[in-house]
Amino acid sequence: MSNNWIIVSRFLQDEANEDGTPSMGYYTRIDKDNGVYHEIYDPRQATVFHNKARAEQWIKDNCIYAKNMKLEQREPHIKLFEQFLEGGMIRRTFDMATTIPHNYEYDPEKHTWMDVLEWTWMNLLNPDAIPFEVYKTWPKIYSLDELTFIWDFTSSHDIRVYSKKYYNVELVFPKGETNYKQFKLELDYMMVNFDLTPNDDGTLPFKVFDRFLCEGGNSVTLVKHPDGKWSVEGRYCLKLAPTTLKKCFDYLVRERYYG
């Protein structure tokens, strides 16, 4: 390994591609004369360090975004950048509308509530694929008369690996609604028919849309545990220790209703 180190900055980017090669980032070029450093696109023009320890100290002393900076070998990034240039410097890639499976309008005479769920799920996985004119024809999940406790699908990024996303379901407990049998039917349907994303520890979270509207971080999540138990967790503390789903349901309809 050579001693040609450059500083690579990444913000909400993965450090490596799927094939294990480093991902492109932004590169640092030091301008001592003007007392600044530049964030540039071209690694060929980045400042090269030949001593890693000194480079790490320079980052610590001079960079306010040091936590996003990493020392990496120069050569792989030059190769990546040259491939980027040869490929036309692709910014983003979109599916053609004619190849998108959910690019069709909602028809109330044809589509059922199950079709609405399936279409919404497909759109969650590929949200930029269809025209707005198509999107606006589809009803929201929370407006479906057939569902009482399902509010919507949710998606979020992993803060450690930005390309990894979590897909889950958000629940709602309408004020005065205590039909546990219906709740379990709806919850089971979502878990069986959609590939919801568990946490690294195997738990499966379901956010709750309640009367507090997450005010001041006052939100709760229903959590399924690998051993079959369920709990209710707040943003900062445990609300209900692992127990049965029925006890969690009773707590949520009493304390976390909406309406």
Q: Which residues contact 236 (CB under 8 A, 6 or more apart)?
A: 217
> For 57, how many CA atoms within 13 A lie in the half-sphere containing its CB?
5
> What's the rounded Cα separation, in Å, for the pair 27 and 184?
52
Q: Which helix (H) or strand (E) holds 135?
A: helix 132-135
Task: Compute CA 173 distance to the chain's CA centroid, rounded to the nearest angstrom.
Answer: 25
Q: Give me 163's structure tokens.
A: 């390309």
Q: How confident is the model at residue 235 (pLDDT cuts 50, 70, 90)?
A: confident
Task: Quote the pLDDT of residue 157.
Answer: 79
Q: Which helix (H) or strand (E) holds 150?
A: strand 150-157
Does the pLDDT value for residue 97 go beyond 70? no
> What's the rounded Cα separation, in Å, for the pair 177 and 179?
6
Helix-, strand-, coil-residue percentages of the chain, each rounded to 5:
30, 25, 45
Task: Quote the pLDDT of residue 160.
Answer: 67
Q: How confident is the model at residue 217 (pLDDT cuts 50, 70, 90)?
A: confident
Contact 248, 228 (CB under 8 A): no
> What's the rounded Cα separation, in Å, for the pair 137 and 120?
12
Task: Quote the pLDDT of residue 204.
Answer: 97
Does the pLDDT value for residue 18 go beyond 70? no
249, 229, 231, 252: which is closest to 241 by C-alpha? 231
Amino acid at 121: W
Q: How confident is the model at residue 60 (pLDDT cuts 50, 70, 90)?
A: very high
Task: Quote the pLDDT of residue 189.
Answer: 97
Q: How confident is the model at residue 51 (pLDDT cuts 50, 70, 90)?
A: very high
Q: How confident is the model at residue 1 (pLDDT cuts 50, 70, 90)?
A: low
Determine what percent of the chain is predicted with pLDDT higher than 70. Answer: 94
Task: Quote the pLDDT of residue 159.
Answer: 67
Q: Give me 13's structure tokens.
A: 């980017």
DSSP 196: P
Question: 15 vs 121, which has greater pLDDT?
Answer: 121
